[in-house]
Structure formats: C-alpha cells, structure tokens
Structure 1
C-alpha cells in the first residue's frame, strides 16, 4: 500500500472541495455571470460538504489506526484543538466584520454564540427542527456541528465495535432510527445522527483499504448497501410532499445521500482506472489542502459580508482584496497559529 500517494489524492480532493464551496458562494453573488452557468457549474456546494464528510471519516480512521492505544482524553484534545482553533478565529472575524460594517449590535446574539460554541448550529432555512443558526450568518459553519459530533460518536463505537466486520451496519441502524425519530419530532440531534452513516462510509473505506490494500466492488459492498438503503429511506417522505423543492428538506436529504452514493461509485470506477488524469485535473489543489479548513469557514464573512463598496467601488479590486484576506488569514490561522495551539493544549 502506498500511503503517501493516496493521502496526496485525499488532500487534493479536500482542497478542491474547499475551493468549490468558496466559488459556489462567490459566483452566486456575481450578477454578471449568466444564471445558466451558475446552475450547471456552481449549484453543488452541499454536495462538496458530503465529500468532506467522506474524506473526514477516512482520515480519522487512518489516524486512529496508526495510534490504536490512544485514550479518549488524547483523542478529544486533538479533535478539539483542530476544530475549535480556526472556528474561534472565524467567530472573532465575523464579529470584527460586523463591527466594521456598523451592524454588530443588530447581528450579534449571545444565545447564537453559545449554541455555536456547543456545536448545535445548522441551517434553519432549509430544514425543520433547527436549534440555532450559524453564528452571524456565516453559513458554512452549519457542517461543523455534524463534524464535531461525528468525531465524538466515532471513538466509543470504534473502541467497542471497530474491529468487527459488521460495525457499519450498526451505524446504519443508528442513522435509520435517528432519521425516523426526526420525522416524528424534527430536532437537530436526530438529524445529525441520521447523517452519521455518510461519515462512517469514509471510515469503512479506510478500514477496507488498510486490510486489503485496494478497493473492489466486493469489498466495499457494505458501503454501497448502507448508502443505498439510506437513499431509499430518505426518498419515502418525498412521496408525501405536495411540492418538491430541490434545496429543501426532505428532498435535500435525499439529494445528500444520492450524491454520497454516487461519489463512492465514481470513486471506485476511477480507482479501477488507476485514477486516470487525476493529477492533471485535481493535483494542484493539494497546495490548498493545508489551509482548506480555514478557507472553508472564513471565506463567507469576508467575501459575502465585508462591505468595502463605500471605500473601493471597483468590483475587481474589491474581489482581489477579499480573496487575499481570505487566503492570508487562512494561512496565518492554519500554518502559524495552529502549531502554537497544538503546543499549548496537550
């Protein structure tokens, strides 16, 4: 097994997903870009997040596999400082931008801040049962609550059942039960757990790769079955809808599971073709990967909320400045600040 090669591929996909989400938000606010271009090429920001989930599960399994005796305390600290360090910077950034724009008092909410710090945020506009919105409308923060609780659920399940071949079906059962409970009483906790099987599919893929050294249709059948099963389950509520709205629950959830299933299928086919043209298409995104998390959670307040029009009326110059701020701050956060935090919190 060639670990460096395949980790580079994962980094490329992670960098690509972060850049796509950035472009997804940026392009949606540029009036000079034709609507047809936006619809065809820049309508899949949610799908990019599903790629993040799959990749995250894969990488977490690799990290635990290399350190099988890690305690929960050590695991928690590693995950906490990785998630919360850039997250807190993004919170301070949003506050600073709101102050600069002159709307801090209007947009700031203590309850919203507390809910986000507890990782309870989600995007209320597209689904019922939400508890708290992303802090100061920094929309990409919705997925962090999922990621955090996936991390917390992973450790006990892995320690208890991780070495059994049927662990993925246990997680599938949790997701099915959670989705059923969400349909009965819409709530954020159930909704998060219903998505856990997507993240765990990444875990299962890593387990298979370490065990067999390669992917085949046969050895990832449990992943296909689990995602297909949840795709069918999430399709059922759509049958009772008078009007289908593509970006809203319940179709949105069905769409997420469809794209996750499709991503695994495309990934397998591409892998069997020796990842033909992968480096030419996505290779350069490895350069973005080291700062991809910060780019993901910081681009929205800078690109979408920072108001420079009264100072710099030229759109092109404004975009250059905002992009420079996004990547510069992401670099400082991930490359300079994160190692310091890692040395402080042990």
Structure 2
C-alpha cells in the first residue's frame, strides 16, 4: 500500500470511527464493555483536518490551472452537491420519526453560507437539523478559501506557514476573551495547515520527520498550552484544549508510525480503504441516519442490531450519493461552467 493509499485508508477509518464514537459514547446499553474505546471522536476530526490540508496542497500543486474559478467550483460542487442531498434526507428522516427539529430559514441560510458552529441548539448559527458534525464542514470550507488567498498573495511558502501559525497563536490568546467564530476557526487552522506543510515535504521529496516539522509542532504545542493553562471564560462553546491536545497526539503517533515504516498498517487501518470513497457523506449523514435514528426501533428496540442496520443504511445512502449522484451532477455542472477547458484542476 503506497503513501497516498494509506491516507485514503486513514480517511475511511476515521469516518467509521467517528460514526461509532458518536453512537456508542453515551450509550452504555449498546456497547458498555467497550465504552472507553469511543471517547476520542474529536481526535478523528483533527485527523480529518490534517488529511484535508495535505490533499488540498497536493491537488493544488498538481493542477494545471491554478486560477480561482476552477479551484472554487471544484470544491464548491464537492462540498455542496452531497450536502444538499444530506439536507433533504435529514428533513424526511426527521419528518418520519418525530417532526422536524433544528430547521429555520435563517439557520438554513447560515449553513449554506458555511457559518455554522458549535453553538447552542437555539442559535441560528448552529448546524442545520442539529446535525452536530456539520460545524467542522464550515471550518473546512473557509480553510479552502483562506488557503487559496494566502498562497496566491504570498509566494514564499515559509511566509505563508509563518502567517497561519502566528494567527493561530494570537487566536489562542484572544479565545480567552473573544470566543467567536473567526478566532475558533484560526485556532484549528494550525492543525489543518500542518497537513499543508506535510504535503510540501512529500512533494519536495524531503524527509518527513519531527525535525523538519518542528515549527508547526511547536506552534501547536504553544496553542495547546496557552488554552489549557488560561482561566476559562464564560461563553466558550468548544473545548479547544482537548481538541488540540488530541491533534498533537495524532501527529506524534503518525510520525512515529511513519518512522517505523507503517508496521502493521495494512492489516489494521488499511482494512478501511474501501470506506474512503464514501467517507465524506458517512461523516455528514451518520448523525441522523445512525446516531439519532429511531425509525427502526419498533422492529429491533434499542439494541446493537438496530445500530448495525442503521449503519448499513448509512453506507448505502453514502454510496448512492458519493458514487452515483455526485459524479453525474458534478460532471454536468462542470461541463456547463467549463465547456472547453481541461477540468483536471
């Protein structure tokens, strides 16, 4: 299994793990004896951010047209086509189960504008239908946009990283006083940009090591320490200290595993490669198709079996959206926007 395939396998593993972590973390009746395993869902989000930064840098460097238009529409359709179908499915599942909750026109608009965050359920900036994982989707979208702006405005790659990491440190300090969306966004971008720097090492055939990644590691550690040892401020909606600690932990484990030549990877994480191609939709649909689902409880009760069935339904839905619907709609829309251009960008 080559390096890029390993990243895909990791993406598949994280999607499945986050799904089960959300389902079983607080459900002692389902997997009580294994409950300790499911306490690290936010570790999965940190890994997703690293993978995303890596893939965006890799894709951008290998693209033939680096202008904003193809960059924007490729990401726009990749994010929004599946998301719209998830919104539709979420609406009808809730309608069948107990009536629609977490839906208002203002909240729909803020979610379409990628402004949702981890606020209280009554906030218009909360995820639509109270679909918890959607907060990280907003972060991903704005990282895409910030990435394009900064690498096109500042050609020196070392300076781009320095700017992001400096903003991360500043945001970690500001968070104690102003726990607002943009501050939260920039804190986590340190994790996302680590993936960018990782891809730069990979593309330049430089050694991936603690030494060559010392600056992002030190910045991440500094952010963790600033948030951890600062007195809590009322109004914070997210435990960034836990999030960042686990992101730093994931990076260190990954670098050590890489140094050990990925021993046992193919027989463990590698087994999740088949789930990579549907990981995005699994991640944004499992909340209502598995975690909050009740539409089959009348058949199986609140048992392990019912969650297995929900999970299979989630996989089928994700496959249909990712492998059947999205490719066709993406091809159609891209052909309308770029009728004569090479769209491999």
Return the TM-score normalized by structure 2.
0.89
Q: Report if the CA contact (8 A) 1:175-1:194 is conserved.
A: yes
Per the TM alignment, residue 113 of structure 1 is displaced from its structure 2 partner at its CA by: 1.2
For 1:133, the equivalent position in structure 2 comes to 126
Cα distance change, pair 250–36 in 1 and its aligned pair in 2 (3 A): farther
Q: How many residues were matched structurally?
A: 332
Which residue of 235, 254, 264 maps to 1:277? Answer: 264
Per the TM alignment, residue 121 of structure 1 is displaced from its structure 2 partner at its CA by: 1.0
1:31 partnered with 2:24: no
Q: Report if the CA contact (8 A) 1:161-1:167 is conserved.
A: yes
For 1:336, the equivalent position in structure 2 comes to 324
Q: Report if the CA contact (8 A) 1:234-1:250 is conserved.
A: no
Which residue of 249, 253, 267 maps to 2:240? Answer: 253
For 2:342, the equivalent position in structure 1 comes to none
Per the TM alignment, residue 229 of structure 1 is displaced from its structure 2 partner at its CA by: 1.9
Question: CA separation in 2, counterparts of 1:310 and 1:172?
Answer: 47
List runs of 5+ in structure 2 lacking aligned partners: 335-345
For 1:148, the equivalent position in structure 2 comes to 141
Question: Helix, strand or coil for the counterpart of 2:82?
Answer: helix
1:1-346 to 2 correspondence within 5 Å? Answer: 5-28=2-25, 30-33=27-30, 35=32, 37-38=34-35, 40-67=36-63, 69-104=65-100, 106-125=101-120, 132-161=125-154, 163-237=156-230, 240-241=231-232, 249=236, 252-309=239-296, 311-314=298-301, 315=303, 318-346=306-334
Cα distance change, pair 70–211 in 1 and its aligned pair in 2 (3 A): same
Question: CA separation in 2, counterparts of 1:183 and 1:341?
Answer: 44
Question: CA separation in 1, counterparts of 2:4 and 2:239?
Answer: 30
Question: Helix, strand or coil for the counterpart of 2:299?
Answer: coil
Q: Report if the CA contact (8 A) 1:50-1:256 is conserved.
A: yes
Per the TM alignment, residue 268 of structure 1 is displaced from its structure 2 partner at its CA by: 1.3
Question: CA separation in 2, counterparts of 1:330 and 1:99?
Answer: 20
Cα distance change, pair 185–217 in 1 and its aligned pair in 2 (3 A): closer
Per the TM alignment, residue 137 of structure 1 is displaced from its structure 2 partner at its CA by: 1.3
Question: CA separation in 1, counterparts of 2:64 and 2:211?
Answer: 27
User: Could you tell which deviates more after superposition, 306-315 or 287-296?
Assistant: 306-315
Question: CA separation in 2, counterparts of 1:289 and 1:230?
Answer: 31
RMSD: 2.4
Cα distance change, pair 146–263 in 1 and its aligned pair in 2 (3 A): same
Cα distance change, pair 162–234 in 1 and its aligned pair in 2 (3 A): farther
Question: CA separation in 1, counterparts of 2:255 and 2:289?
Answer: 37
List runs of 5+ in structure 1 lacking aligned partners: none
Cα distance change, pair 36–242 in 1 and its aligned pair in 2 (3 A): farther
Question: CA separation in 1, counterparts of 2:293 and 2:251?
Answer: 37
Question: CA separation in 2, counterparts of 1:236 and 1:48?
Answer: 24
Cα distance change, pair 338–214 in 1 and its aligned pair in 2 (3 A): farther
